[in-house]
Structure 1
Amino acid sequence: MTNPTSRVRGTAKAPPADTSSSPTDPMGPGEQAVREVLGNNEAYRHLRTRAHGGASNALLAQLVLDTAKEADRLYARLRLQAAHARDRLNDALNCRRTAAFIPVSGVLNSCGHSTDLLAARTAQQLNQLGLVLDTYKASLPRTA
């Protein structure tokens, strides 16, 4: 397994200019949460425009997008890790295998523990996204 790239601020590669997902790609929980909180596609488009513009809260808008993107990345990794754990359990339950082929180190090895850690990290990121979204919404001008 390779180590993920550093998430230290300023060390990650810049995202491509157009990071919008295609209509066939399912939304991750991060993007879905942003769209639910902002209410409509126009508000989401305005968030993306504001993040790349010179608005006073451009950094906050970019933080919302980055936090959502990280939540989606963690969720995708969690799905892959869970599928790997499922495959290992399916192999263990295969009735054609004998006990001699079951690894001494356990069926899941460290897969179960790393899946738990990744699930906790994903939940933490989604909670962080909620806080950032609340702050962003509070910074928007009130329309009456």
Structure 2
Amino acid sequence: MDSHLNTPRSHTSPSTHTGPGETALRTALGNDGYATLRRHRRLTDTALGPLAELLWTTAQEADHLHGELRSYARNTCDHARHVPAHANQTETVPLGFLQHTSRAIDVNATRYAQQMNQLNLVIEAYKLALLAV
């Protein structure tokens, strides 16, 4: 938990991969704008606070979905490595797993693309709200 903001921390740390949601925020807002966003999330007297919170949670969800896609990719690679070892035993080749994973990846990739699109829309709305303040 990030005790300062009373919200769960991102699954990333400075030494690990930064997700595309957080990267999009930092790119669109810059470092100062990113810090301002964190302050705006605490505002309750204007619509800017809830909009900043929506922007933050939208980016976090994009990062979560991206993490799921990476996990599916790792699992699929792990299973695919076992196929040559069982090539002579067709009943043990994990093709069912690969078919299920393929559908799961398709659904998750679609959700991720939609989330990144939504993130871009919320970023633009947030920037417009900042101009109005």
Give the shorter-chain TM-score range: 0.7 to 0.9
- Equivalent in the alignment of 1:111: 101
Post-superposition CA distance 1:57-97 (Å, at most 9, x none):
100000000000000011001100111112222222x2564
Structure 1 segments (4+ residues) deviating >3 Å = 15-18
Structure 2 counterparts to residues 1-144 of structure 1, below 5 A: 16-17=6-7, 19=9, 22-38=13-29, 40-54=30-44, 56=46, 57-92=48-83, 94-95=84-85, 97-100=87-90, 101-103=92-94, 106=96, 108-141=98-131
What SS does structure 2 have at the residue aligned with 1:26? coil
> CA separation of 1:42/1:88 partners in 2, compared to 1, >3 Å: closer, same or farther?
same
8 A Cα contact 1:50 1:58, kept in partner: yes
How far apart are the structure 1 equivalents of 2:78 and 2:122? 36
Identical positions, percent? 35
Residues of 2 paired with 1:89 and 1:120: CA distance?
23
Please say which of residues 134-143 and 47-56 is displaced more in the overlay: 134-143
1:4 corresponding residue in structure 2: none
Stretches of structure 1 lacking an aligned partner (at least 5 in a row): 1-14
Amino acid of the structure 2 residue aligned with 1:102: V
The structure with the greater share of residues assigned to helix is: 2
Q: How many residues align?
A: 126
2:69 aligned partner, one-letter code: L
Aligned equivalents of 2:67, 2:124: Cα separation in 1: 24
Q: Distance in 1 between matches of 2:115 and 2:22?
A: 12
What is the DSSP-based 3-state SS (H/G/I as helix, E as strand, rest coil) of the residue aligned with 2:98?
A: coil
Counterpart contact for 1:89–1:107, Cα < 8 Å: no
* Residue identity in the other structure for 1:124: Q
**TM, length-normalised to structure 2:** 0.82
The alpha carbon displacement at 1:55 in A equals 5.1
The 1:72–1:42 alpha-carbon spacing in structure 2 relative to 1, beyond 3 Å, is same
